[in-house]
Amino acid sequence: MGHMKILKQKLEEIGIDSELCTPGQYNHLLCPMCKGGDSEEKTLSLFVTEEGGAALWMCFRAKCGWKGSTKAIGSNSLPGSFNEIPKSRNRRQITAQNLQLEPLCGELVAYFAERSISRETLKRNAVMQKRTGDQVAIAFTYRRDGILVSCKYRDINKKFWQEADTDKIFYGLDDIKGKSDIIIVEGEMDKLAMEEAGFRNCVSVPDGAPPSVSKKELPPEEKDTKYQYLWNCKEYLQEASRIIIATDGDPPGQALAEELARRLGRERCWRVSWPKKNQVQHFKDANEVLMYLGADVLKGVIENAELYPIRGLFNFSNYFDEIDAYYHRTHGFEFGIPTGWKALNELYNVVPGELTIVTGVPNSGKSEWIDALMCNLNESSGWKFALCSMENQVRVHARKLLEKHIKKPFFGARYGGSVERMTVEELEQGKQWLGDTFYLIRCEDDSLPNIKWVLDLARAAVLRYGVHGLVIDPYNELDHQRLPNQTETEYVSQMLTKVKRFAQHHACHVWFVAHPRQLHHWVGGPPNLYDISGSAHFINKCDNGIVIHRNRDPEAGPVDQVQVCVRKVRNKVAGTIGDAFLSYNRVTGEFMDIAEPPGKR
């Protein structure tokens, strides 16, 4: 007994009154941390070991969750958690007589009537009352096969408490026995309200809702303490093929819906949408709808329940708004964003969420052309870009972009010739434009970045800066370590799938530069997309495939002539296969339309 006295003193110091607690059993007390909330429910479960030397406690109120343990002296043993406490304790055998339950008085019947619950519904559900001194509490009797298993009490001030050492089961369990369609609500009043609307196949959870959805994996059945009532009633639930979850509309209620669906199986769950109370608020639960809108409206809410969403499984109806917007072109980019070159606009337009593979032999102008395209898109549509350009030094890349934007050379010597160099004032304005338009993804150490690292930073750029386009230039500068026994073809396929998912999820257009393999018998013409080093998946998986080719033979035409070969367009709305010819200004790096294609000028 000395140990028990020391233990009680320790518990009293933290606000736990254990004076009437029985060792070796669960004791339900008022939690000193949350005081049971507004309802002052006894939600603290305290377990004292048989010898009285140690205690373990936890508050099962969803918004509290306070837990801890203590020992009388250091040598006493203590279970590590509630799940380690022996489950062999005896369940109480209770009856209406030994609980001193009695029929509802007129005052309580009138209270239910104010909430649109009839005397007949109360009688069928064996709703009773219990007197404690001058106080009268509503008694919701929990029954299995007609036998009283547990009882939950509620006073007029919405204070709740339950009988200790009884099984956790659904309220109204017998009403769903053998039923293929069942309804689950959050409170006993909602269960009664459903019956007023004509639905007896309804049960209520016994313990209320959690504050949020757990981020942990589902625990095994024997450790799923909070939802033990589900496992205690699993033989009733197994027969149900359609489960309508009609929990409260507040965040805890929606969290409860998700936790139930996780355990019951989303594929057989449905959910309800509570009607609007005003311009801003919705009715919270079934009893509110019954009280203010009537039984017919509540019946309609259940009859119009929708399939519970399953991640990754959709119906076209989920996208009707998006399809309508596409048809009416309300977004403005349904046909893609024009490139800024008339010769190319009939063949290729930039659609958010697509992947464009760009290739060409070395020194053909692939990177220069993408830079010019980004300048055009920024000027016409205000697009911003993330650049993972590993072959360019930052200052060199800045020079190239500034020359295209300002349309003057960065330097006056060498390539600039007699053309006026950009002024200091123009440089300062250009630097502001660079800072507002481009965000650099660069690996500052000597290691090679992999595609996951690039996409993670690109995702941050989309969310933080509103980036619309991502350039990865080139493929061979990334780290391509493969799993053992994984072929390059398999690796490229998985990598491009990740890039496409990023593009689609963030509505970000991605340009991926990939060099062709060594061309042993090259005769000067543009390479094919199947010539890209690594895998045919570059052409198979991309939305658009473009080859940039520069004329190197003065006898074949102007050496400033660049051929843009559009070799694949998956989206026929945005373009088609064909060739466009542009003129390259070596001084400013600009690409310009040619009045006529070669041979027709």
Task: Cite the beta strand spans of 483-595 per DSSP E.
Answer: 509-513, 544-550, 561-569, 578-584, 591-593
Catalogue all structural domains in the chain, each as residue range(s) with its CATH number.
1-71 (2.20.25), 97-215+234-307 (3.40.1360.10), 352-518+530-546 (3.40.50.300)
**Rounded Cα–Cα distance for residues 100 and 560 (Å):** 100
How high is the pLDDT of residue 57?
A: 83
* Identity of the amino acid at 589: G
Q: In this predicted model, what pLDDT tens digit does every residue of 399-409 receive, in sequence order?
A: 999 999 999 99
**Residue 161 β-bridge partners:** 153
* Identity of the amino acid at 222: E
Q: In this predicted model, what pLDDT tens digit does every residue of 506-564 receive, in sequence order?
A: 999 999 998 887 665 666 778 888 878 776 788 889 999 999 998 877 777 787 899 99
**Rounded Cα–Cα distance for residues 548 and 344 (Å):** 12
C-alpha distances out from residue 241 to 175, 191, 266, 372, 403, Å: 16, 20, 11, 59, 67
What angle separates helix 451-465 from helix 488-506, to the nearest 10 degrees? 10
Other residues' Cβ atoms within 10 Å of the Cβ of residue 295: 17
Which of 75-79, 195-199, 278-282, 322-326 bottoms out in mean pLDDT, i.e. has the lowest?
Answer: 75-79
How high is the pLDDT of residue 520?
A: 58
**Rounded Cα–Cα distance for residues 45 and 29 (Å):** 7
483: CB partners within 8 A, 6+ apart: 491
* Of 175, 167, 176, 130, nearest in space to 149 by CA: 167
What is the average pLDDT value for the chain, to the nearest integer? Answer: 88
Q: In this predicted model, what pLDDT tens digit does every residue of 409-458 receive, in sequence order?
A: 998 867 767 789 999 999 999 999 999 999 999 987 777 788 999 999 99
**Rounded Cα–Cα distance for residues 229 and 173 (Å):** 11
What SS3 state is found at 595? coil
What angle separates helix 295-303 from helix 286-293, to the nearest 10 degrees? 130
Q: In this predicted model, what pLDDT tens digit does every residue of 463-477 receive, in sequence order?
A: 999 999 999 988 888
